[in-house]
Amino acid sequence: MVARSVVVRLHTGLHLRPAALFVQEAGKFNSEITIERNGKKADAKSIMGVMSLAVGQGSEVVLTAEGEDERDAIEALVRFLSSDI
């Protein structure tokens, strides 16, 4: 299992299109991936789950992945959340 904390730098946070792109990126990996904010967890491959966290720019989240490609998954998702799209 790999876990990593990251501050979201996305201009709009994880709302609408960025959330869909985040879920799409998470879906590329076989590992089970969760995203956590303020003690609430969601499946990173679920658009409804990700949207329910209301992650805005500057929010700190914890990504956790468990599986064969867990390290690659965390690195890719941290890069995504750290970008400014």
- HEC string of 40-63 equals EEEECCCHHHHHHCCCCCCCEEEE
Full-model pTM: 0.95
- pLDDT for 7-60, tens place per residue? 999 999 999 999 999 999 999 999 999 999 999 999 999 999 999 999 999 999
- For helices 70-82 and 17-26, what crossing angle results, to 10°? 160
What's the average model confidence in pLDDT over 60-83? 97
Model confidence at 85: pLDDT above 80: no
> What gap in Å lies between CA 51 and CA 68, rounded to an integer?
26
User: Any idea where the domains of the chain sit in the sequence?
Assistant: 2-82
- pLDDT for 49-71, tens place per residue? 999 999 999 999 999 999 999 99
Whole-number pLDDT of residue 84? 77
Which residues are annotated as catalytic?
Answer: 15
Which top CATH class is 2-82? alpha beta
Chain centre to alpha carbon of residue 69 = 15
